[in-house]
Structure 1
Amino acid sequence: MNLIDIFTYENLVHLIDILVIWFVLYNIANWVRGTRAMQLVRGIVILIVVRLIAWWIGLDTVSWILDQVINWGPIALVVLFQQEIRRALENLGTRSFFRPAGTSVPSEEIVMTALDQALPYLSRRRIGALIAIEQETSLAEIIDTGITLDAQVSSALLINTFIPNTPLHDGAAIIRSDRLVAATAYLPLSSNPSTSKDLGTRHRAGLGLAESTDAIVIIVSEETGEVSIAQKGVLHRSLKPEKYDQFLRDRLITENEKNHSDVFANLASWVAGSSKKKNGNRHDDNSKGGSGSDEVH
């Protein structure tokens, strides 16, 4: 296979076409995942499946009703999800899609560096803190309850946020990627009846968010200075520095760069495979032509 054959005009057009579709679908999936819109997508899939089953069985009335729901549903969706649509359009206008390669530090490393320095400081001085780190599930609704900051995370910023008697110390700080996006945010309290009665409001709030989302919530006790972490509805209490450091490192590993690498590797393999197949077909045609000429002779 000639390497030049991969970069033909036809292959490049196909590659650009696939990249554009992948880019659009990837961003839509990121926007939908972890929001109310994800539940909507599941509902639409269920409606379509039921509609197909009704058509196959011959349930005319059910099919007609579902057709009306599907036809008029988009109008209702625009009304019901106007906040999500507005937020998505705002993000589309403000986000940076392209960053210079090799000039940025991974966001998880920035967050870990800030936490490594801030948590021991807060713990030793018994400064109460509540820090939520966004994962797959969007915390947009939680962020809206606080004061918007949008500053790069640093230990100094986290420490000063929770210094007592300052405007931002009450409530939770929200971290998205490597940005401190909000402070004084309100977190829902845990409604689990089996929750220990000796938990304070800060711990109940951290556990409440961990029960309803996949966020990692760090709680520093104002009474004891102990560091606890809540995730997936479980509260890990009184962690030693080496324990919570390892816990955070194990869970703050993002798959974004790996996914990007896998996607581009798959695309390159697909293009190479298409070219190889095309060259194979050409070889088969030439072989057939050659065998035909042998028969003539």
Structure 2
Amino acid sequence: MDVIVAGDRAELAKARESLGGGSIALVPTMGALHEGHRSLIRLAREHADHVVVSVFVNPLQFGPAEDFSRYPRTFDADLEACAEEGVEIVFAPSAEDMYPPDRQVSISAGGMGTVVEGAFRPGHFDGVLTVVLKLLNLVRPDVAIFGQKDAQQLALIRRMAADLNVPVSIVAAPTFREPDGLALSSRNRYLSAADRATALALSRALRAGAARETPGEILAAARAVLDEAARLDPPLLLDYVVLADPATFAPVAEDHSGEAVLAVAARVGSTRLIDNAVLRLS
């Protein structure tokens, strides 16, 4: 079966009807698909009868100084990847179709949207939640798949679905890594060989933290790796390293037990990268 490309809401409704029943999984993406995205699609296939992939570079989640205009757009290759993975529908709307010119209402991410990643990208999570809710309303999936690499985004989407009674199951997909440990990202293509060597400090810092036991020890071990990378050429410019509650992204206390997210964000050259690891503290 060939992939159906739906370029607007009307075409999506028609394509969805053609599926003829069965459960649907949605994999929202901004395109520039890589093996990490393919792993999301494969997980979606395990959870539903049909898979829909959205390809939409969402302008609402980019700040004025961010890389919206140069964000990689590789639609033909994306479509080929979806066909190889057995995706039935690719929803690729225009910004005009997603956002009418008289649009007034958006989703607020609340307090959790202003901390950690949200503190460095004001309004980012409002834009993420707005587009995700629109996609969920349009596709009406039973399941939606999101990557654990964007841990705070995942937590906020789960919070939104619960708070607004969105009838969808949110499934987290493990972070897909390259053999050297770098988390796959569409932005990795911006990295030079020297940039990439420095960027590997992110995953090294997570591993160093994961080898410790208490929050203080975990953060100290991760920071030691990141401080060393700050002296490399090119240097790693740290935005944050935090150990946070996976449901709220508030910092965990020193006596915290249970899951915690060790999250890091940094710039290497002109590229900003994020990564995280879910740890279990006892």
* TM-score between both structures, scaled by the size of structure 2: 0.22
Q: Which protein shows a greater Rg?
A: 1
Q: Which has the higher strand share?
A: 2
Q: Which has the higher helix share?
A: 1
